[in-house]
Amino acid sequence: MNTKNKSILITGGTGSFGKAFIKHILKKKYKFKRIIIFSRDELKQYEMEKELSTKKYPSLRYFIGDIRDKERLKLAFKEVDIIIHAAALKQVPAAEYNPTEYIQTNIVGAKNIIETALESNVQKIIALSTDKAVSPVNLYGATKLCSDKLFVAANNFKGKKNISFSVVRYGNVMGSRGSVIPFFKSLKKNDIFPVTSKKMTRFSLTLDQGVKFVLNCLDISIGGEIFVPKIPSYKITDVVKAINPKSKIKVIGIRQGEKIHEDLITSNDSRNTINLNNMYVILPNNLHKFFKKGKLVRENFSYNSGTNDKFLSVAQLRKLIKSI
C-alpha cells in the first residue's frame, strides 16, 4: 500500500485496537503524512500522548471529538485520505440498559462518518465490525449489523466519487479491554474460575493479528466487501486450564445476550462468500468479477467457532496468553 503523502484517521484511536494500530504503523515506518487519533476521551489521549508524543512522532495528531458530532467530523476529515473506523460502544449488558446511547453512537455515528466522508476527499474507509453483528441476539450486535449495512450500502450512492467503503469482521480480540482473558488472568491464583458455560467457544485473534489483517484489507479493498479472517478457535475451559490447570470451574450461567459460539459467516451469506487465501470475503453480487482469484465456498457454508476445523491446544493458549 502506497502511503506516501497520505493522511489517515482512526476513530476510537485511543482504544485497544487504535493504540495497537498506531504503534504498528509507527514501528513499521509507514510513510503517512499525518496520523490522526480521533476520540472523545481527553484523559486517554493525554495518557497516549505521554507514550507516543507528537515531539517524537511529528506525523501524529490528537483530535478530540465524538462521531455523533457531524460538524466536528467535518473539521477532522479535512485533507484525510484513509479512515479506519474503530469507535463504538461495545459492552453487551450496558447496551440492553442504555439502548438509545448505542443507537446514537453505533448507527447514527456510522451514518455521520459516511455522509461526512462523501462530502470530503476521503478515498478509503474500513469499518471494524464484530461477530455479534451476525444473527444478533443482543442490541449491541443489532446496532453493529446496521452499521455494517450502512457502510456496504454507501458504495451504491457514492456516484463517480473516488471513495470506497468496506468492513472487517472478527470476534473478540485476545487481551483487549473487556475480554475474558484479562479477567481470568486476574484470577490466576484462585481455586475456582467462574465460567458461563463449559460448552463455550471463541475465535482466537490477537491485537497484532487484527492490525495486520486490517492493513491487508485496506490494500486490496474495492468497496462493499466484508472481510473475515481465517483464525483458530478455542474452548473457554482450555483457557482456564492454560491459566491455572489446578483450578475448578464453577458454571454461573449464560449472560443476557451472550452466545455459546461465535458466528462470523452464516449459511445465508455463503452464496456471496469467496475463499481467498487467508480470509473469507462476503461480496455484493456485482463484486464477484473483481475477485477472480477467490473461489465460492460450498453451499450452506457457515463459519462458527464451535464447528471450526482448527482449535488451539492448551499449550498454544498458554503461550499466547503469556505474550499479551
| Inter-residue contact 226 to 166 (CB < 8 Å) | yes
Q: Which three cell numbers stand for residue 69?
A: 458530532
Of 132, 144, 235, 259, which is the active-site residue?
132
Instruction: Say if CB 7 and CB 32 are below 8 A apart.
Output: yes
* Cα–Cα dist 113/265, whole Å: 25
132 part of the active site: yes
Q: Is 68 helix (H, G, I), strand (E, B) or coil?
A: coil
Amino acid letter for position 133? A
Buried b (16+ CB within 10 A) or exposed e, 16-32: bbbbbbbbbbbeeebeb
Return d(Cα 141, Cα 135) in angstroms, integer: 8
CB 126, CB 170: distance < 8 Å: no
Question: Which residues are catalytically annotated?
Answer: 132
